[in-house]
Every structure is written in structure tokens, then in C-alpha cells.
Amino acid sequence: MTGVREQILDRAKSRVVAANGLRHRVLTFAGGERELVFVPGITSPAETAEFLAEALPQFTVHVPDLRGRGRTDRPPAGAYTMNHYRKDLAGIIASLELDDPIVVGHSLGARIVADWTASESWTGAPVVLVDPPLSGPGRPYPMSARSFARQLSEAREGTTAEKVRQYFPAWPERELRLRAELLHECDETAVLETHRGFEEEEFLPTWARVRGCLGLIRGGNSPVVTPDDVAELERRNPGVPVIGVADAGHMVPWDNLPGFVVALRSLVTDETDENHSHERTAP
């Protein structure tokens, strides 16, 4: 049986770009004229965003493998701080030479995108953040480092879609199979050092400095951005809309793709709606 990855690579354009001293693999999924860069999470190689690109045909979607994941270079220990990731993203976007892209980040990717907009390297591109971990000192990340290490160990030993389903019961079968295929390509050092960053690096002060944000999308059931967090987000960066997607946890597009697409389209097609000033719920 042909693997899910092989099917995806038959339809995607793969290239390698130089950024911040590393070679970064980027997959491009052809679509409409508008360009969108999707920055994935802590254990999500680029292929895992293919289903999302298929659901957004008005965009041509570019997805990088983050450092230490997929087919991007794996630097040594100590090279997985937010400073490293931010410089990677700036270099990747420059190398792609895109015309006015929207930049969307999920989880770790959302933290990277937020940090980028707060830096001198931001190009002015509009951004959307999807369930960024609000964790930091004294505020632990909901999934433990031990859980990540266990999943990586299972992947190296040869995991299955059924085993992956134990962690992500709401996911479609195809995406479970794809994660089972690809998770072993996430370097354990990269993942565990990034997890440590989730708990040691502050995010909320960065959020207060985020620019160009069309909105923040959170899972309605997310333990990462909870309903109690919404008021704090709005207080620190007033005017940025927060949209809750019903029937979704932290992995918002995977848990409820139609609801996520509705939320994203509402932001990228209507950037000035005054009703965005308070949390709304997408179906």
C-alpha cells in the first residue's frame, strides 16, 4: 500500500532554502494566487499540513519543516530557542520571495510567528495565530515532556494509526496514519528542548507586542488557551479578535477542520469587522 506521505509528495512541490545557517525543506501546495505560509507545531513535519492546504484552495500554501523535523537540518543541542526559530522564519520568508503572504502559525508555530512580528525582521505581513501555548515560568504546558518522549519512542519502534489514536481520538484516520509515518522524523532533542522553552520562555509579554495580527484562533476545548485566558489576551493586546472553534482541542484544524476554515476565512476576508473585538465561536 502506498504511504500517505508518498501520495502527498506526488502533489506537492518540494524545495530546500537556506536560512539562518541551515537548509530548510519547504513544501508548496499549489492553489489560488494569494500566498499563505503555514508554520507548524512541535511535532508536525510539513506533510501534515496537506489536508489544510486542500481545504484552502484560494491560497497557495507553503509549509516549512522546522529545524530538527522532517527533512530540515538538525542542529546540535542548545539550538532550539525562540531566537533560533524566529531567525529561521525570517530567513525562510526572505528566501521564498513571496508577494504579500499571510502567515499562519499553529502551536509552536504560533509562538514563532508572534515573536517574528515583535522583531525588526517582521515584513509587515498579516498574521493569524492558532492556539499558541501561553505557558511559561510557573505556568506548565499541559502535555508533559514525558508524554512527548513516549510518543517519539513509539514512533521510532514503529507506531500505528491505532496507537496514535490514543493521543488524538478526534483525528481522521488518514491524519493518524500520516503521523504514524512521520513522527519518527522529529528529533527528540529538538522536541524536548522546545518543550522546555514552552515552560521557561515567557509568551504573554511577546503577545502584548504582536503586530499585524488579524486574530487568534483557539480550540473551544483547548487546555493550552482556555476560556479563562481570553480576557487576559484581550487585555494585553486589545483589538485583536479571539475566535473559539467548537468541538476542537489544541489541534484545532485536525479536530474540527470545517470550523477552523470558517474561523480563518472570517479573519482573512474581513479584517476590519468591529465585532471581532470579543471572542466568538465558529461551528
Q: Comparing C-alpha atoms, which of 201, 215, 67 is closest to residue 134?
A: 201
Q: Measured between alpha carbons, how far is 24 from 65 in angstroms, rounded to an integer? A: 6
Number of residues that this document lists for the chain? 283
Angle at 137 between CA 136 and CA 141, to 5 degrees: 45
CA dihedral 110, 205, 249, 108 (to 10 degrees): 30
Q: What is the mean pLDDT of residues 124-149?
A: 96
Instruction: Decide: pTM greater than 0.85.
Output: yes
Does the pLDDT at position 282 exceed 90?
Answer: no
Q: Which domains does the chain have, with CATH numbers?
A: 4-282 (3.40.50.1820)
SS3 of 78-135: the string is CCCCHHHHHHHHHHHHHHHCCCCCEEEEECHHHHHHHHHHCCCCCCCCCEEEECCCCC
Q: If pLDDT is split at 50, 70 and 90, which confidence band does 276 have?
A: very low
Q: Measured between alpha carbons, how far is 86 from 92 in angstroms, rounded to an integer? A: 10
Q: Measured between alpha carbons, how far is 105 from 82 in angstroms, rounded to an integer? A: 14
Q: Tell me: the pLDDT tens digits for 69-81? A: 999 999 999 999 9
From residue 110, alpha-carbon distances to 39, 42, 158, 213, 257 in Å are 7, 10, 29, 11, 18
Q: Measured between alpha carbons, how far is 39 from 50 in angstroms, rounded to an integer? A: 12
Q: Tell me: the pLDDT tens digits for 195-236? A: 999 999 999 999 999 999 999 999 999 999 999 999 999 999
Does the pLDDT at position 279 exceed 90?
Answer: no
Q: Measured between alpha carbons, how far is 124 from 117 in angstroms, rounded to an integer? A: 8
Q: In this predicted structure, what is the pLDDT of residue 275?
A: 38
Q: In this predicted structure, what is the pLDDT of residue 272?
A: 33
